[in-house]
Amino acid sequence: MSLSAEEISELMARVQTLELKAKKLVRESFAGEYQSSFRGSGLDFDDYRAYQPGDEIRFIDWNVTARTNTPHTRTFKEEREMKVYLMVDVSGSTLYGSQAKSKRVLAAEIAATIAFSAIHNNDKVGLILFADKPIKYLPPAKGRSQVLRIIREILAATPGTGHTDMAEVCKFLNRVSDKSALVFCISDFQDMSLERSLTTTAYRHDLIALRLEDPAEATLPKVGKVALRDPETGHQVIVDTKNGTVRSAYRKLRARFTEGLTDFCKKHGIDYASFSTDEDFFPPLLKLLKSRPSARS
């Protein structure tokens, strides 16, 4: 994407602001919660020692046992390093924001905090931007430069055709990640086919769904007839917002969608939290992490 000098300057200022904010949150309280909430993906071989009653028989190393004439077993340590993927929705609807920031900026704030926490914990973090298809892929890597690039890519991305397709990005994730990974899906989830896609991803990976919302989306204002355009599809309709039946139907539809998404995540063991553009994202993110150790024990 080609940016003007003014746009580049504004983008870099946003990146610097997000870096300072994210580092402060990680330093003060988030890093410890991250470390206690997310474990490594397996066990690494550590050393050999003499077999003791009660040790797992399947871990006896018969080659060492034969050389020493004494039963020896392998010992292991937890594999701390993880691959963390930020799967971020940059479809047309994420550009919306009735408050001081859009859902896209909110996504960048959340992603920055998670990414800085990951590298603080010596984990690799990667990025998959998507709309109707995967738009940008940054393989997992460590270091501050990787996090800054992630933030820039989220803020500067253009959605192309605009609509969301969860199926395509989930297929892409499963192709590039051959091992189980920690996956944060940051989206407003405006895709009716998401259940089938996320079910498969949740089976293979530790999946966390982070939903982006804006308060103006919760209800229709009572302002008469207005033209509403779907930023995902471009479809436009005229709606009489003074009609109480219309406003009530809209509220019920939103409520059903939220309830359905929440129930789906609970059913499939997907940790879920929602974030609004008019609220501080940090408390619900911290609450989510605090709930994980007990849920995983």
- At 35-58, the pLDDT tens digits run 777 765 545 566 788 888 877 777
Counting every residue written for the chain, the total comes to 297
Which tens digits make up the pLDDT trace of 66-79?
A: 988 999 888 765 55
Give CA–CA dist 165/133, Å, rounded: 6
CA distance 118 to 26: 10
Domain ranges of the chain: 5-38+82-213+276-296, 42-79
Please write the tens of the pLDDT for every residue from 87-140: 999 998 898 888 888 999 999 999 999 999 888 888 899 999 998 889 999 999
172 exposure class (CB count in 10 Å sphere: 0-12, 13-18, 19+): middle
pLDDT tens-digit series, residues 14-41 = 888 888 888 888 887 777 778 777 765 5
When pLDDT is averaged across residues 215-227 and rounded to a whole number, the result is 81
Residues linked to residue 126 through DSSP beta bridges, in sequence order: 85
What local confidence, expressed as pLDDT, does residue 160 receive?
Answer: 60
Enter the tokens of residue 232.
Answer: 């995902």
**Over 80: is that where the pLDDT of 275 sits?**
yes
Mean pLDDT for all residues in the chain: 84
- pLDDT of 245: 87
Place of tokens 């990146």: 15
* Mean pLDDT of the region 165-180: 88
Residue identified by tokens 């892409």 is 172
Look at residue 297 in the predicted model and tell me its pLDDT: 40
pLDDT value at 195 more than 50: yes
- Tell me, what's the pLDDT at 79? 53
Mean of pLDDT values over 268-281: 93
How confident is the model over 200-213, as pLDDT tens digits?
A: 888 889 999 999 99
* pLDDT over 60 at 198, yes or no: yes
Fold exhibited by the domain 5-38+82-213+276-296 = Rossmann fold (3.40.50)
Q: Check if the beta carbon of residue 275 is closer than 8 Å to that of residue 106.
A: yes
